[in-house]
Homo-oligomer: A and B are copies of this chain.
């Protein structure tokens, strides 16, 4: 089962098939765009910078992607997919318990975001402006409703193993505990003189701590 959505690159969708071994140009541009957009956001990004980063000419960017806007939408959609994918996979897995799902989400997300620390802030701040179009293209909502996680969670509430508060608290707590440190990273750096190494140690600790915290937090 592929969890990736069928998005199209428009112009290129057909041509892509006809090429032999294409780790070039189009992919180079997308990769550069990802880097710059993630770091600066849409408004602060200059297409010239993407072109330079990709080692190609500015005109070529428009040749492949028509406009900055369209290129951005592709990057945004892929980034969101990549981010939600982890959660979906873990939550759909019928063979793990609720506790194991929490452990896995904490571990996998912290690993993911240690690798690409700009992603949470990128997604959250870009969603603020762009209309909610991205979500209509991502069937996360439907997937989550039917997920193994949801079933287990509702069972746990009925069996009084979990406090009977709005489930949104659960999601907010879990994701907040995982993701917030990366969003607040710049503040920590400037404020508390926290270096990279120390931050990584702290986040490694949290892989273990968050599941424990979540358990005590959600106890009835």
Interfacial residues, chain A to chain B (CB-CB below 8 A): 39-44, 118, 121, 123-125, 127-129, 132, 134-135, 140-141, 165-166, 168-169, 172-173, 175-177, 179-181, 183-184, 186-192, 194, 202, 205-206, 209, 213, 216-217, 219
Contacts and interface: CB of A to CB of B under 8 A. Distances in A.
Most central of A42, A128, A217 by chain B CB within 10 Å? A128
A171 to B, nearest CB: 9
Secondary structure at the A interface, as helix, strand, loop or mixed, is: helix
A205 B206 CA distance: 25
A133 B128 CA distance: 25
A176 B217 CA distance: 14
Nearest to A128: B186
What is the total number of copies of this protein in its complex?
A: 2
A176 B184 CA distance: 9
Contacts of A39: 128
The 10 A-B residue pairs with the shortest CB-CB distance in the complex, in nearest-first order? A176-B180, A43-B44, A43-B43, A132-B190, A135-B190, A125-B125, A176-B176, A216-B216, A127-B186, A213-B217
Nearest to A125: B125
A187 to B, nearest CB: 6
Contacts of A165: 205, 209
A216 B214 CA distance: 10
A71 to B, nearest CB: 17
Given A44-B43, A173-B177, A189-B132, A168 B184 contact: no
5 contacts: A43-B44, A127-B186, A128-B186, A179-B180, A216-B216
B129 A202 contact: no
B216 A166 contact: no
Contacts of A202: 166, 168-169
A181 B165 CA distance: 16
B166 A124 contact: no
